Amino acid sequence: MRKINKHIIHCSDTPKSMSVGAKEINIWHKQRGFSMIGYHYVIRRDGTIESGRMESQIGAHAKGYNSRSIGTCLIGRGEYTKKQFEALKRLSKDLESRYEGIIHRGHYDYSNKTCPMFDVNEFFNTEEL
């Protein structure tokens, strides 16, 4: 079993007009040469949490940090729905219950990117949505 200590939050960088989920991201990642979707979870605009890779599989979402992390992708580009944030909180609490000491961070903490375009640390330290 993998030793997981990070939950890394990403975004799909897609406009509001695009309704995509794990299926479409899987296609995009395969087109880029990956064997399958790089994320473990995708959160659609309606708050639906979709599975990508199995948690037991090493992700392909944050170079140098994949072996010890779970990757979650929010559909959007910096403008997320309340349902997405509620789903992210639920998913994160579930991960916390299964992976002692797991921390939640943005992709920007581990790369030269702005993804997911909100302050992840502040989000997880705030009780309100």
Cβ proximity of 55 and 71 under 8 Å: no
Is residue 83 annotated as part of the catalytic site, yes or no? Answer: no
> Catalytic one among 6, 7, 104, 107?
107
> Catalytic one among 6, 7, 10, 61?
10
Pairing state between β 6-11 and 103-106: parallel
> Catalytic one among 29, 39, 61, 65?
39
| Partners of 15 in the β-ladder | none
Residue 85, SS3?
Answer: helix
Rounded alpha-carbon distances, angstroms, from residue 36 to 5, 107, 109 = 23, 19, 24
Is residue 39 annotated as part of the catalytic site, yes or no? Answer: yes
Contacts for 12 with CB less than 8 Å, ≥ 6 apart: 18, 20, 25, 42, 73, 74, 75, 76, 77
Is residue 115 annotated as part of the catalytic site, yes or no? Answer: yes
Q: Which residues are catalytic?
A: 10, 39, 107, 113, 115
